[in-house]
Structure 1
Amino acid sequence: MSQAAGRQSIFITGAASGMGRETARLFHEKGWFVGAFDVNPAGLAALQAELGAVNCIIQTLDVSDKSQFDAAVATFGAATGGRMDILFNNAGIIMRGFFDEMSFEDQLKIINVNLIGVLNGTHAALPLLKDTPNALCFNTSSSSATMGMPLIAVYSASKHAVKGLTEALSNEFRRFDIRCADALPGLIRTGMTSDEFLAKAPDQGPFRLIEAVEVAKVVWASYHSEQLHWYIPEDLAGLDKAAGDNPELLRDKLGRHMEV
């Protein structure tokens, strides 16, 4: 018998902290088997100690490296008997600054993790997803995928790409009984959010500070739904409508808040 012992299973990248860690905790509470993958081995070890080694597997993973992703999926499949109910492409990085002042190498790092990492994960996991009834490919996009945002131009572009990929694959993967959906979080309390941004967070509105566990709850809800885009908080959906209705007005509003 496999380590998962017949339990439903979720594969999570960026699992050592923030939204990934909270998702691992929540699905563990729901009785699922968890595969936790990250570049942070200490964070993974702490998570495994919390969940219990019988309930999860951990492995360091640079999502931008396809060979590493293939190996991680193979390890996961061996532990679950070839099952993957959810692939959660969550790992991501962000760097702030004006486009012309950011190094090309740093811009490529953002693309390689945030977009290529999702492509690597989806390609690697697809055989397991195909073999699992009602599987879900769930990706972390961003509120910055509703409108290109200044000071995070390449990050925003990477998340637009993830959103578009999710939309396209949500149709293509119906051939395999695989659903696709994404999260578009706003300001979430994670290690990626600077203390300066936390201090400036408004008390109300779409960019109020949200706890990482709220993203985990959305991943759980998505598995039981056909909904495509999940905005966190829900009122962020208004940005998509505003961008479609009057992109110039939204562009100018965003431009008035350019601070590094």
Structure 2
Amino acid sequence: MADDTRRSIFITGGASGIGRAVARHFGDRGWFVGIADVNVHGMEDTLGLIGGGFKYMHELDVRDRDAWDVALESFSTAAGGRIDAMVNNAGIGTGGPLAELEKEEIDRCLDINLRGVLYGAQAVYPHLQKTAPGSALVNIASAAGMTGGSGMSVYSATKFGVRGITESLDAEWAEEGITVADICPSFIETPLLEGTGNRRSNESVRSRVVAAGLEITPVEEVAKAVWDAVHGTDLHYLVGKTARQLNFAKRWMPGKVRRQNRERTTLLGK
């Protein structure tokens, strides 16, 4: 059991990738870390990388609204009765022409990437109220939430949505002193790069990223951005050169971005 002054953070998708990196980053800095995922073995591996006893795991499917309440209440109890920050990180990728996607693929991506973020924000709100001012909700968005590309309609829809949720809650919770922010990474060194992003393709996302000459950013950079978001005042945090360049181009050269999107196939699609 933690004391009631140690700050705590709850992270979904904590079994690997960004979630694991964030858990280690905060754990190394003395926070009580709670992780959630459907991958129990992966969560055990994550906790094994965090020293000390201030850590906790809970099996959670973010699509289950009632399960959110149980998970957060359990973590709050373990952490000494407080939750200071939460990271809505759990998400999946999907790609390919919309006409070729099965209903189940569309629904699963929407439910995990978008509905899961809404459920998480709703469920954690009363906990963040208790530790405000200074509590924080951080949502993991994507550079794909800044512009849509061929073959990315569903995934981009979810990440555009995450950015919209962030902006809405920033306004909604500001008076209570709850920080709300999102992280917009480009291509990050995580296991998702080993997937194809498209069930009709055998080529990994990583090979397409490399072939396109784009950088792959260390996952630790995302963890640092989450730390900055919890302690900062910005709304959107860009991670990786591609994300920063895209943000600049969308603002100052939107026509060029549109032409490029129409001229090339997506890295996650065909």
**116-125 or 192-201, which moves further after superposition?**
192-201
Provide the rounded CA distance (Å) in 2 between the counterparts of 1:204 and 1:138.
30
The answer as to 2:201 corresponding to 1:194 is no
Aligned-partner Cα distance in 2 for 1:76–1:157: 31
Runs of 5+ consecutive residues of structure 1 not aligned to the other structure? none
Deviation at 1:244, TM superposition (A): 4.4
* Distance in structure 1 (CA, Å) of the matches to 2:85 and 2:237: 16
| 1:175 to partner: Cα distance | 1.9
Contact 1:94–1:152 under 8 Å retained in 2: no
Contact 1:4-1:33 within 8 A present in 2 as well: no
Equivalent position of 2:66 in the other structure: 67
* Runs of 4+ residues over 4 Å off in structure 1: 202-205
Residue of 188, 195, 210 corresponding to 2:217: 210
> Over residues 199-228 of structure 1, what are the superposed CA-to-partner deviations in whole Å (9 max), with x where a residue is unaligned?
3435998x4100111100101111221011
* Aligned match of 1:254: 261
1:51 Cα deviation after fit: 2.0
* Superposition deviation, residue 80 in structure 1: 2.0
The reply to whether residue 51 of structure 1 matches residue 50 of structure 2 is yes
- Identical aligned pairs, as a percentage? 34
SS in 2 for 1:208: coil
Alpha-carbon distance between aligned partners in 1 of 2:2 and 2:186, rounded to the nearest angstrom: 36
Tell me, yes or no, if the aligned pair for 2:11 and 2:86 is still in contact at 8 Å: yes
Residue correspondences, number: 258
Distance in 2 of aligned mates of 1:116 and 1:45: 26
SS of the residue corresponding to residue 216 of structure 1 reads helix
2:102 is equivalent to residue 94 of structure 1: no
The 3 A distance-change label for structure 1 pair 4 and 142 is: farther
Cα RMSD of the aligned pairs, angstroms, is: 2.0
> Shift of the alpha carbon at 1:79?
1.3
| TM value normalised by structure 2 | 0.89
Matched residue, 2:17 = 18
TM-fit CA distance, 1:235: 5.7
Q: Structure 2: how far apart are the matches of 1:204 and 1:217?
A: 26
**Residue 93 to residue 235, structure 1, CA distance change in 2 (3 Å):** closer
Query: TM-score, normalized by length of structure 1?
Result: 0.92
Name 2:75's counterpart in structure 1.
76
Whole-Å separation in 2 of the counterparts to 1:252 and 1:73:
45
1:166, CA displacement in angstroms? 0.4
**CA offsets, 1:18-52, max 9 Å, x none?**
00000100101000000010110001112223325
Q: Deviations over 1:225-256 (max 9, x none)?
A: 10111111256234234334454431220232
Contact 1:82 1:128 in 2 (8 A): no
With over 3 angstroms needed to count, the CA separation of the structure-2 counterparts of 1:224 and 1:203, relative to structure 1, is farther
Paired position in structure 1 for 2:156: 156
Q: Provide the rounded CA distance (Å) in 1 between the counterparts of 2:151 and 2:224.
A: 29
| Residue 132 (str. 1) matches residue 140 (str. 2) | no
Tell me, in whole angstroms, the C-alpha distance in 1 between the residues paired with 2:27 and 2:218. Answer: 18
State the secondary structure of the residue aligned to 1:222. helix
Cα deviation, residue 257, structure 1: 2.3
